[in-house]
């Protein structure tokens, strides 16, 4: 891929600077190189031959969250996050692709079984203290500068992945006709079993049958990293599983997976699988789109759980879903919903950004934690595995009592 093909898009930037107020990186660092205007100037300099492709570009190309907040605040709607991904792709081709990413995207994520074995090994290491030893010895640094610290995000891992506890296959439901395919995201599979169990339980109430799919990673981590070939291979494996008339609807409970599955037609735009990708994407829904909330509760319960909601970037800016999660929370009789300031501001997780830029990522989260502390809420609900990890880490470090849940788990409090 050649970033020069997108010169006209890049040149749309009129240097107005309106993206500054929206960009979490700029708001945190104040550096022009971190804001869309600066990034676009960099891409332009590369195309015009004023900058060489070399390792110096890794920092500026990879310290973007891909949150899309700049585009939402940009009059010509320059798609900076997408352009950065295309530039990353060219960087990987021309400068450097790390062996750890090759292992992750080519040998681990395409195979759920291997991912489960790796997750069980990590759980064993973490829960028995072996990974603390590896961290102390600096061994985890082979995964990247900040990995050994980011690895602390999850305090304890479940000993068994979700799909080792609940095997892929068809489950009978109470619904009348709907046949549902449940696409399990990697985060839910290896870490957030509570969310997976809540989703499976709810889907069984809604569907006549629920097929717990043996899908692999949706491909978004590889795509965000700029490895578009690896992302396409992962997506193609999933298309083989999802392209069947056995499902009326396919759902997932991770906003990041939802956004990328809906992007499959674009991934296969020049490919003979485009039609297949379009059919799958048209049947695909995020979990919050499937839930029909009750009427908002007008009488406040006696001892409500005070809760708020964080908009995941992929649900809000990519898919435009903001109303549904709030309607769901407002309809729960044991819960009092309060809106948080800047609910749509990125939490700083940014896919693998937290792993590669841990301090900056936590600095971006600080603002949200301040808001939570001021609001004094007991619960924060959201709809993306990445955001859940990020809040859990920050809340734990700050010693807050706020519980972080997936919105489907909040529903169980009814
Ligand atoms: S808001 Fe858009 S046009 Fe204005 S400087 Fe930022 S990227 Fe360029
Ligand atoms: S995508 Fe997000 S982090 Fe990247 S430049 Fe735009 S606003 Fe900043």
pLDDT, tens digit, for every residue of 321-364? 999 999 999 999 889 999 999 999 999 998 778 878 889 999 99
C-alpha 18/C-alpha 170 separation (Å) is: 50
pLDDT digits (tens, 9 = 90+) for 33-44: 889 999 999 999
Buried b (16+ CB within 10 A) or exposed e, 25-50: bbbbbeeeebbbbbbbbbbbebbeee
Q: In this predicted structure, which of 224-228, 298-302, 303-307 has the lowest mean pLDDT?
A: 298-302
**Average pLDDT value for residue range 199-207:** 96
Q: Which residues face 284 on adjacent strands?
A: 250
pLDDT of res. 118: 75
Bridge partners, residue 307, by sequence: 337, 379
Report the C-alpha dihedral over residues 370, 372, 375, 379, rounded to 10 degrees. Answer: -170
- The single-letter DSSP state of residue 314 is I
Alpha carbons 242 and 235: distance in angstroms, whole number: 10
- Identify the CA nearest to 70 among candidates 21, 6, 33, 2: 21
Evaluate if residue 152 carries a pLDDT over 90.
no
C-beta of 392 in contact with ligand 1 (< 6 A) = no
The alpha carbon of residue 150 and the mean position of all alpha carbons in its chain are separated, in whole angstroms, by 16
Cα dihedral sign, 211-212-217-219: positive
Bridge partner residues of 190 (DSSP): none
Task: Report residue 122's pLDDT band, with 50, 70 and 90 as the boundaries.
Answer: low
Question: What is residue 340's DSSP assignment?
Answer: P
pLDDT higher at 201 or 161: 201
pLDDT number for residue 160: 82
In the predicted structure, residue 145 carries a pLDDT above the cut 50: no
65-102 pLDDT, tens digit per residue, is 999 999 999 999 999 999 999 999 999 999 987 777 77
**Percent of the chain clearing pLDDT 90 (strictly above):** 71
Ligand 1 atom closest to the Cα of residue 15 is 5
Smallest CA-to-CA distance from 321 within 379, 407, 248, 386 is with 407
Q: Please give the sequence-ordered ranges of beta strands (E in DSSP) within 157-299, or none if there are none.
A: 169-172, 179-182, 209-212, 249-252, 284-286
pLDDT in tens, 205-239: 999 999 999 999 999 999 999 999 999 999 999 99
Please indicate whether residue 17, judged by its CB atom, sits closer than 6 Å to ligand 1. Answer: yes
Distance of CA 46 from the midpoint of ligand 1 (Å): 18
- Nearest-atom number in ligand 2 for the CA of 81 is 1
Nearest protein Cα to ligand 1, atom 6 = 19
3-class DSSP state for residue 45? helix
Q: Exposure pattern of 98-113 as b/e (b: 16+ CB <10 Å)?
A: eeebeebbeebbbebe
The correct answer on CATH 1.50.40.10 for the domain covering 3-94 is no
The answer to whether 294 touches 331, Cβ cutoff 8 Å, is yes
Residue 131 has pLDDT above 60, yes or no: no
Per-residue pLDDT at 137: 44
CA–centroid distance, residue 119 to ligand 1 (Å): 42
Q: Examine the pLDDT at 139 and tell me if it is beyond 70.
A: no
Cβ proximity of 57 and 51 under 8 Å:
yes
Enclosing H/E stretch for 202: helix 193-206
Whole-angstrom distance, CA of residue 404 vs CA of residue 13: 38
For the chain, which residues make up each domain, given as ranges? 3-94, 99-153, 162-290, 305-413
φ, ψ of residue 410 to 5 degrees: the values are -60, -35
Q: What is the DSSP letter of 55?
A: G
C-alpha span between 277 and 367 (Å, rounded): 39
Q: CB under 6 Å to ligand 2: residues?
A: 22-25, 35-36, 39, 64-70, 80-81
| Residue minimizing CA distance to atom 8 of ligand 2 | 23
Query: Options 1.10.3470, 3.40.50, 3.30.1600, 3.40.1710; which CATH number does 305-413 get?
Result: 3.40.50
In the three-class reduction of DSSP (H, G, I as helix; E, B as strand; rest coil), residue 245 is classed as coil
Q: Which of 17, 70, 74, 79 for mutating ligand 1's site (highest number of atoms within 8 Å of CB)? A: 74
- In this prediction, residue 414 carries a pLDDT of 67
10 Cα to the center of ligand 1, angstroms: 10
Most ligand 2 atoms within 8 A of CB, residue of 69, 79, 226 to mutate:
69
Please report the pLDDT score of residue 134 as a whole number: 46
Smallest Cα–Cα separation from 191: which of 213, 217, 221, 159? 159
Q: Is the pLDDT of residue 154 over 70?
A: no
Global pTM value: 0.89
pLDDT at position 215 is 96
* DSSP SS3 for 325: helix
DSSP state of 191: T
Same fold, 162-290 and 305-413: yes
Q: What is the pLDDT of residue 123?
A: 64
**14-27: per-residue pLDDT in tens?**
999 999 999 999 99
Torsion of CA 350, 353, 359, 364, to 10 degrees: -20
Tokens of 17: 């600077």
Q: Tell me how far the alpha carbon of residue 90 is from its chain's centroid.
A: 23
pLDDT confidence bin for 143, thresholds 50/70/90 = very low
Return the bridge partners of 380, or none.
Answer: 308, 404
10, 20, 35: residue to mutate for ligand 2 pocket, most atoms within 8 A of CB: 35
403: CA distance to ligand 1 center in Å? 37
Give the CATH number of domain 162-290; options: 3.40.50, 1.10.3470, 2.40.50, 1.10.10. 3.40.50
């Amino acid at each position: 891929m050649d970033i020069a093909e997108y010169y006209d898009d890049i040149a749309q930037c009129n240097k107005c600077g309106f993206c500054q107020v929206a960009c979490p990186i700029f708001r945190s660092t104040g550096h022009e190189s971190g804001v869309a205007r600066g990034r676009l100037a960099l891409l332009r300099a590369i195309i015009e031959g004023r900058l060489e492709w070399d390792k110096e570009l890794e920092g500026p190309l990879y310290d973007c969250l891909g949150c899309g907040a700049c585009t939402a605040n940009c009059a010509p709607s320059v798609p900076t996050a997408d352009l950065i991904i295309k530039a990353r792709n060219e960087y990987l081709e021309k400068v450097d692709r790390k062996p750890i990413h090759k292992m992750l995207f080519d040998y681990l994520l395409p195979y759920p079984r291997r991912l489960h074995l790796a997750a069980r090994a990590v759980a064993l290491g973490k829960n028995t203290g072996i990974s603390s030893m590896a961290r102390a010895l600096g061994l985890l640094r082979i995964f990247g500068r900040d990995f050994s610290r980011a690895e602390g995000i999850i305090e304890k891992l479940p000993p068994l992945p979700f799909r080792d506890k609940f095997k892929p296959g068809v489950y009978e439901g109470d619904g009348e006709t709907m046949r549902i395919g449940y696409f399990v995201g990697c985060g839910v599979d290896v870490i957030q079993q509570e969310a997976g169990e809540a989703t499976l339980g709810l889907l069984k109430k809604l569907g006549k049958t629920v097929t717990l799919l043996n899908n692999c990673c949706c491909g978004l981590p590889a795509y965000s990293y700029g490895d578009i070939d690896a992302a396409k291979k992962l997506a193609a494996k999933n298309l083989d599983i999802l392209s069947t008339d056995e499902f009326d609807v396919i759902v997932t409970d991770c906003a990041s997976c939802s956004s990328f599955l809906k992007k499959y037609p674009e991934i296969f735009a020049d490919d003979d699988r485009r039609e297949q990708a379009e059919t799958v994407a048209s049947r695909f829904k995020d979990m919050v789109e499937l839930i029909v909330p009750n009427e908002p509760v007008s009488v406040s319960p006696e001892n409500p759980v005070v809760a708020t909601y964080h908009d995941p970037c992929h649900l809000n800016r990519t898919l435009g879903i903001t109303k549904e999660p709030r309607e769901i929370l407002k309809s729960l009789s044991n819960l009092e919903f309060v809106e948080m300031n800047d609910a749509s501001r990125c939490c700083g997780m940014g896919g693998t950004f937290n792993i590669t830029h841990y301090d900056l990522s936590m600095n971006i989260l600080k603002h949200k934690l301040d808001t939570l502390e001021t609001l004094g809420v007991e619960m924060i609900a959201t709809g993306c595995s990445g955001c859940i990890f990020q809040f859990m880490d920050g809340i734990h470090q700050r010693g807050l009592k706020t519980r972080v849940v997936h919105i489907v788990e909040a529903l169980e409090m009814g």
